[in-house]
Amino acid sequence: MVDYLTDNPKAKRKANSEELVEKIVKRVMVNYRITKDELLSKKRNREFVESRQIIMYAMREKFGYTFREAGAYFGKDHATALYGIRNIKGIMQTDKDFNKLVNELI
C-alpha cells in the first residue's frame, strides 16, 4: 500500500510549505497592521485586499500552490486568486518600492 503523504513529493512540499506560508502571513499582518480575523474576513478595504493578494502571490509563485488552493486559504475561488496574483505582479512591475516590499515579505 502506498502512503500518499510520505510517498508523494507534492504532498511533502505542501506540508513543508504550510509552515512557511504562516510565517509570511504573520509578516504581512505586522506590515499592514491587521489581525488574522481581518485578513480572513470579507472586508474589501485596500489593506485587507492587498494583504490577501500578496499572500496568494507568495503561495503560488514561491510554493507552487494552485489558484484554487491559494484562494481557498481565504475562502475565495480560483478566479479571485488569479486576479489577485496578476494584480500583484502588475504592480510589482511598475512600482519598485512595492516590488521591494513584496520581496521582503515573502
**Closest-CA residue to 55 (of 94, 31, 96, 12):** 31
All cell numbers assigned to 51: 494583504
Domains and CATH numbers, the chain: 4-105 (1.10.1750.10)
Residues 5-26 have pLDDT tens digits of 445 445 555 667 788 889 999 9
Report H helices in the chain. 4-7, 9-32, 36-40, 46-61, 67-72, 78-94, 96-105
Residues 26-56 have pLDDT tens digits of 999 999 999 999 999 888 999 999 999 999 9
* Planar angle of CA 12, 20, 66, nearest 5 degrees: 60
**What's the rounded Cα separation, in Å, for the pair 43 and 59?**
21
Instruction: Report the predicted TM-score, pTM, of the whole model to 2 decimal places.
Output: 0.82
